[in-house]
Amino acid sequence: MKLNSRAVHTGDRKRSELGWTPVTTPIHLSSGYIYNDMEELDRVFAKEIPGQSYSRYGNPTSDALEQLVNNLEGGAGALACSSGMAALHMAINTALIDRRRVVLAAKLLYGATLGLLMKVFEPAGVEVVFADFDDENDVAAAIAEHRPGAIVMETIVNPLLRVPALDRIAKMANDAKAPLIVDNTFATPMLIRPLEYGAAMSVHSLTKYLSGHGDVLGGAVVADAEYIEPLRNLSRTVGFTLGPFESYLAMRGIKTFPLRMERQCANACHIASWLANHPAVERVYFPADPKHPDADNIKRLLPVGIYGAMVSFEVKDADRAAIFRLMNALRLVVPATSLGDVHSMMLYPAMASHRELAPKHRERLGIRDNLVRLSVGIEAVEDIIADLDQALKA
């Protein structure tokens, strides 16, 4: 089946022993489960037969969500977590269980990911090394020098929308026997499925495009055959479990994810082209730009005509105060600290996603104080453009 059909049907309609079948996966709120006899429960605990025992280990609603997300990404299995950052934490810890405690990461990542690596993993004794993932030679040299136990990158990089050579980096990682962990939140399975290129794990913030309505905090890790059971075993101990109600909402959102994403991507293309010709805009960052520094990777890795729904741009001669005036002037676009919603949202990276980085560090990464990040929604594109225009002129 195509992605649109799988998003609607996967995980639902489990047949009941009573003969009826719910159209939608129910919300199973029980924390514990009983069986007809202890021998059957013993076999469930031993993983000899499928079944539920305790909701930190699994839940029927969350299991259905995991089946759905895994189907979209094409892995061996998935784990639903309490947030995207919890999912990334689980993925890195799983990768390092029996490997050198060295992580090679892209220099340019989501700010909270940088914080997780430097403020959580480094103090715990993990060596964290950064490389320029837009330079394959730099990645190869870092792998050869540091022999990492895991490698971390993003498919479409937050917030400058670079697109590293995932296929080639995955080959380097596999040659070095270092599991590659890819944050695929910006791209989603509609644009790219990292495991198909050799990644070990693909991570999502379910909060964003997959759920898509701003009402769920959750994350997911999709793993290959080597890592799915270690991931689940670690989860049983750590307990970064997503609750059944959040799992239900995430599944409900995913049913319309392909439709929303198609509209958002189309809107983003229109807006990026319009911004490129606006007198108040200094520079636009968007993968459809034929002059994009990663144009070859984009042509090779992304579907024709679909480039994601994020647009970043720099406002000409703007400082922090000018950016605040711009965002305060917005009437339709929401100045909020997230992305991937049905409504368009603008974020100021220097204040929000990359706030914890020193100004000089941000500058070195190319995140200037006049940069804003726009998550394009499903509204009429003319209305989004009209709001941006009046705010840029305010």
Structure tokens at 342: 């049905």
What is the model's pLDDT at position 22?
84
What is the model's pLDDT at position 354?
78
What is the model's pLDDT at position 181?
98
Nearest to 205 by CA among 244, 154, 161, 256: 154
Residue of 43, 56, 100, 368 marked active site: 56
- Chain segment 55-105, per-residue pLDDT in tens: 899 899 999 999 999 999 999 999 999 999 999 999 999 999 999 999 999
What is the model's pLDDT at position 364?
81
Residue 6 designated active-site = no
What is the model's pLDDT at position 21?
80
Q: Do 193 and 202 touch, CB atoms closer than 8 A?
A: yes
Nearby residues of 295 by Cβ (< 8 Å), 6 or more positions away: 289
Residue-wise DSSP of 119-135: IIITTTT-EEEEE-TT-
Q: Do 105 and 153 touch, CB atoms closer than 8 A?
A: yes
What is the model's pLDDT at position 373?
96
Q: Do 73 and 205 touch, CB atoms closer than 8 A?
A: no
What is the DSSP code (8-state) at residue 196? G
**pTM for the complete prediction?**
0.94
Beta-strand relationship, 77-81 and 219-223: antiparallel
Nearby residues of 246 by Cβ (< 8 Å), 6 or more positions away: 216, 217, 218
| Count of positions (residues) in the chain | 394
Q: Do 217 and 83 touch, CB atoms closer than 8 A?
A: yes
Helix, strand or coil, per DSSP, at residue 54: strand
* Domains of the chain, start order: 3-254 (3.40.640.10), 257-393 (3.90.1150.10)
- The stretches in the chain having pLDDT less than 70 are 15-19, 358
In whole angstroms, give the CA distance from residue 248 to residue 227: 25
Residue 110 designated active-site = yes
Residue-wise DSSP of 239-278: --BPPHHHHHHHHHHHTTHHHHHHHHHHHHHHHHHHHHT-
Nearby residues of 190 by Cβ (< 8 Å), 6 or more positions away: 3, 257, 258, 261, 262, 303, 306
Count of helix runs (H) and strand runs (E) in the chain: 15, 11
Residue 56 designated active-site = yes
Number of CB atoms found within 10 A of residue 138's CB: 14
- Chain segment 345-375, per-residue pLDDT in tens: 999 998 777 777 767 777 787 888 999 999 9
> Which residues is 77 bridged to in the sheet?
223
Residue-wise DSSP of 320-359: HHHHHHHHHT-SSSB--S---SSS-EEE-TTTTTTTTS-H
Give CA angle at 20 (14, 25), nearest 5°: 35
What is the model's pLDDT at position 337?
86
Residue of 63, 162, 193, 208 marked active site: 208
Residue 183 designated active-site = yes
Q: SS3 letters for 299-318?
A: HHHCCCCCCCCEEEEEECCC
What is the model's pLDDT at position 67?
97
Residue of 63, 134, 162, 183 marked active site: 183
Residue of 63, 110, 227, 387 marked active site: 110
